[in-house]
Structure 1
Amino acid sequence: MEISQVKKRKLFLSFTVLLSLFALAFVSNWGALGVHWSDILTNSASSIENEVFWNLRFPRVIMATLLGGSLAWAGAIAQGLFRNPIVDPGLVGITAGSALFAAVGIVLGTEIKNFPPVWGVILLSFVGGVVTGFLVYILSRSQGKTEIYTLLLTGIAINSLCFAGIGILSYIASDAQLRNLSNWNLGSLGGSSWATLSRFGVILALPVFIGPFISKQLNVFALGEKEAMHLGIPVEAMKSFLILCIGILVGSSVAVAGNIGFVGLSIPHIVRLAIGQDYKYLLPCSYFLGGAFLTIGDGFCRTIMAPTEIPVGVITAFLGAPVFLLLLRARRRNT
């Protein structure tokens, strides 16, 4: 029985890796301009088509793969931290913090001399996610310990404050700023480029390398904090590290593409239902399946109403919410 379960997990991991690679290659063919891999490989594409493919479409597809994987991986980590399979990184306020700092850059950045309108907002959003993560962690600590329920309640409070701040900024924003703010909150990968990849690609690829070193500790942590302490796991240090990982990954994701929902919630839940709780496989499977999901979703955004683009956050919510509701119903039926 144990051998068959291990084989099942290895097969599922292989499937998610292949699906992610297939999505990356296949979705690269999608877009308003009809240029495909066959045109590129046979040198039959024009200079404009080469420019569009290599400098616009391909970096966007790579970014979608890395970003979707990072959001799903952060979601799996958050669910492990809270020991609850129906938890999203947004619950601890990190997504809202990133969005608030981005809103500050969009609305108030024009008042700052020499403020870079694009990279300034991206940098502020990244800093906002990391700062909010640490703020929630510090506020939820008591006597050198971090209680999970206190962390959750603190995150809910920070969420409310951040959304109140975004509401105030929306109220004082000009029409153009309000439009930019709305586009940011809906999520889009339209700003992806090789420059963006060079700055955030390494960060978004980190889960692939970090996961193998923390999977064992997460498996023990899932048994409970007391059990983990008895088995030699540094629980408080582990919590700090997990929150740091979530903050950096979600902050980077919101910085690059704005708010994209349901990837960090639905994908780890789907993987958990498919192969169980073992984080040795749960983390990489979530990463690769999340990458494939967002890559395909962004491909639909670019093609359904071409040349107009639908915000990718709308697509992920439209696809993710019904799937998640069906999974919840199936889960309830099995319990």
Structure 2
Amino acid sequence: MEISQIGRRRVYFLSFTIVLSAITVLFVSNWGAFTVDLTEAFFGEKESLAKEVFWNLRFPRVILATLLGGTLAWSGALAQGLFRNPIVDPGLVGITAGSAFFASVGIVLGTSIPNFPPIWGVIMLSFVGGITTGFLVYLLARVHGKTEINTLLLTGIAVNALCFAGISILSYIANDAQLRNLSLWNMGSLGGASWVTLVRLGPLLLLPLIASPFLAGPMNVFALGEREAMHLGISVEILKSVLILLIGVTVGACVSLSGNISFVGLAIPHIVRLVIGQDYKYLLYSSFFLGGALLTLADGFCRTILAPAEIPVGIITAFIGAPVFLFLLNKRKRRLA
């Protein structure tokens, strides 16, 4: 009886996150300095202002926020499963710092490169930087053909420090305009959202929906421990490699499109785990949809609080996420006491 109650709770919570995500997309699409009549946006005249604002500005941004928030939360769930630690986020593997460093290189040094595209050049550098950094951390953590989790964590911390040192040097030599762009990029923003952005990198943000069914079973077994997983037929080293690759690709894509948005990958999967438990069959999907809904809401607040001005969404997520993180740390401390 207890098992069926837990199962129902998981199904209900997953259904709730899907409905919440869908409602949030429509609800937040109407937020901003200009109020859009959704009826006119869907059924009005072809050349109406409401259609123009909704379909070319609001809707692609809301879709991007949903996919970004979902992908960051999903990547956080993978990272927490990889380290078997519920207070870990993807940044510990060095991917976020690597993306930020390569983006900073593009912002500060890109102007000295002939025909360097100022927007897409930075985006692609950031994406490549995230994947490269994740791969480097993975290689450095390999010992005799095996990836030690503690070594992976320490290597990620060291690479993080190195990347942030590089960002500090670039900030020091940047001019005023470049320094402003660096600051805004590191605060995180969805202001550059467009259909072009979604078409070019959006498919990578759909990886969570495609990969989750194949990862849930192996990750449930891996949660028992590496030795137990090997005895049950799981190729632990291949699983670790796949997880690091997926975290690198998805987080690299997210950071390249929006800059540094903190705490989504940490807080959301942990909250979901508290509600429905450790079953990755539900945890991965629930994290994706809840993360998407919450980042979309946060971005909506950023656009409306000081409209027509806009607050970087990374500030809002940090304000919300930091207290949640402290709460989780305190709860973990009490449990261990």
TM-score normalised by the chain length of structure 1? 0.97
- Report the counterpart of residue 77 of structure 1 in structure 2: 78
Extract unaligned runs of 5+ from structure 2: none
State the match for 1:124 in structure 2.
125
Q: Cα deviation per residue 1:32-79 (whole Å; 9 max; x = unaligned)?
A: 111131331341696333222111111000000000000000000000
Aligned to 1:138: 139
Contact between 1:39 and 1:45, CA under 8 Å: does it hold in 2?
A: no
Task: Return the offset for 1:134.
Answer: 0.4
- The 10-residue stretch of structure 1 (181-190 or 33-42) with the greater mean CA deviation from structure 2: 33-42
The CA deviation at 1:206 is 1.1
Distance 1:331 1:7, change over 3 A: farther
SS in 2 for 1:30: coil
Alignment of 1:263-274 (within 5 A): 263-274=264-275
State the AA in 1 paired with 2:247: I
What is the match of residue 23 of structure 1? 24
Which has the larger displacement, 40-49 or 275-284? 40-49
Q: Match of 2:294?
A: 293
* Contact 2:44–2:51 (8 Å) recurs in 1: no
8 A Cα contact 2:263 2:322, kept in partner: yes
Query: In the alignment, which residue of structure 2 is the partner of 1:210?
Result: 211
Indicate if the aligned counterparts of 1:89 and 1:250 stay in contact, CA closer than 8 A.
Answer: yes
Cα deviation, residue 331, structure 1: 4.8
Whole-Å separation in 2 of the counterparts to 1:65 and 1:266: 16
Q: Does 1:194 align with 2:198?
A: no
The amino acid that maps onto 1:30 is W
Aligned twin of 2:282: 281
Match of 1:319 in 2: 320
Structure 1 unaligned residues grouped into runs of 5+: none
Partner residue in 1 for 2:104: 103
TM-fit CA distance, 1:323:
2.6
| Aligned ranges 1:169-188 → 2 under 5 Å | 169-188=170-189
Check whether the contact 2:37–2:50 (CA below 8 A) recurs between aligned residues: no
Task: Name the counterpart of 1:49.
Answer: 50
CA contact (8 A) 2:28 2:300 kept: yes
CA distance, structure 1, for counterparts of residue 62 and residue 311 of structure 2: 16
| 2: CA distance, partners of 1:200 / 1:46 | 29
Letter in 1 for 2:188: G
Contact 1:35 1:45 (8 Å CA) reproduced:
no
Contact 1:74/1:246, CA 8 A, preserved across alignment: yes
SS in 2 for 1:129: helix
> C-alpha separation between the residues in 2 aligned to 1:280 and 1:332?
28
> What's the % identity of the aligned pairs?
69
SS of equivalent to 2:200: helix
Output one character per residue of 1:218-262: Cα deviation in whole Å (capped at 9) or x when no partner: 011111111111111111111110000000011000100000000
- Matched residue count: 335
- What is the distance in 1 between the residues matched to 2:6 and 2:58? 39
Amino acid paired to 2:235:
P
Distance in 2, matches of 1:139 and 1:329, equals: 33
Q: TM-score, normalised by structure 2?
A: 0.97
CA displacement 1:111-156 (0-9 Å, x = unmatched): 0000000000000000001000100000000100000000000000
Give the distance between the partners of 1:54 and 1:331, measured in 2 at CA. Answer: 45
> CA 1:331/1:151 → structure 2, altered by over 3 Å: closer, same or farther?
closer
